Amino acid sequence: MKHPVNKSVRTLWISAAAVLAAGLASCSQQQYVAVTPMTQGMSAYEKFVAQSKKYPTVMEVYMDEALLARATSRSHIVICLSQQRGRLYVDNQVAADWPVSTGADTHPTPTGPYRVRFKEKKHASNRYGKMYNAAGKCIDRNADVFKQPVPEGGRFEGSPMPNWMRLTSDGVGMHTGKVVAGKRLSHGCIRLPHVVSTMLFDIVEYGTRVIITEDIEPGYPVAAFMARREIEEAEAKAEARPSAL
């Protein structure tokens, strides 16, 4: 199995012009993604987290080539809503970690254990997309065809959702989409950077476990490190405050 990552640091530059040329709607735009592979020294994953003072609110993607080579459909995925991060676990180790954008407050992503029910390389939403009138003019770029009728003579064009991996009966799933670090933006789906959705699409099969949780998952390998850093940051801010006279 091949994955689109080299063993050295690589940044994937995808220009805005390329995005427009691809004709992807707001929920399926590809964008700049930095991929950090396994490094020497301390635990590779610990180093990935430690080297970014703003983690988890970063766009960097971590991939461990050795673990990814062992990934199968029996590996599992965790989507942490509070961190807006996704992680692939292989042999109980983090093989990949990436930013996601999940459901906005008006369309929250449901929590719980799920399994991949269906996957399709090229998929389009049957609910959200662009609405055109009879003259072919786009009259709504964020239309909900379930709530507004198609104008007479017009048409509805569902938003592209590449590398679609469906999780729920009512249409929540994972797919390529516009991701902004730390932001919940979608209509309920889990948006992924394209490099990640492509990697996961090649791994998952029907029945692959996907756990969506509001809090950090049990056994998260850098939970203690993150807690220590939060305490240190709070103490540093407290020391920086001018003392009361």
| Lowest mean pLDDT segment, chosen from 25-34, 90-99, 108-117 | 25-34
Q: What DSSP letter does each residue of 172-205 carry, written as one string?
A: -EEEE----TT---BSSSEEE-HHHHHHHHHH--
Burial of 61 (0-12, 13-18, 19+ CB in 10 A): buried
Residue 176 Ramachandran class (φ > 0 left, ψ -120 to 50 alpha, else beta) = beta
| Interior/surface letters 235-245, b for 16+ CB within 10 angstroms, e for the rest | eeeeeeeeeee
* Residue 170 DSSP class: T
Indicate the average pLDDT of the chain.
84
The predicted-structure confidence for 191-221, as pLDDT tens digits, reads as follows: 999 999 999 999 999 999 999 999 999 999 9
* pLDDT beyond 60 at 66: yes
Which segments of 81-154 are extended strands (E)? 85-90, 93-99, 112-115, 118-120, 124-132, 138-144
Task: Note the pTM of the prediction, 2 decimals.
Answer: 0.79
pLDDT grade for 128, boundaries at 50, 70 and 90: confident
How far is the C-alpha of 133 from the C-alpha of 244, rounded, in Å? 64
Contact assessment for residue 64 and residue 37, using Cβ atoms and an 8 Å cutoff: yes
Q: Compute the chain's Rg from CA coordinates.
A: 20
More confident residue, 125 or 16: 125
Does residue 25 register a pLDDT over 60?
Answer: no
SS3 of residue 226 by DSSP: helix
In the chain, where the domains are located:
10-123+161-236
The class of domain 10-123+161-236 in CATH terms is mainly beta
Instruction: Reduce the DSSP state of residue 21 to 3 states and report it.
Output: helix
For residues 121-129, average pLDDT: 83
Instruction: Summarize pLDDT for 144-193 with one digit per residue, the tens.
Output: 888 889 999 988 887 889 999 999 998 899 999 999 999 999 999 999 99
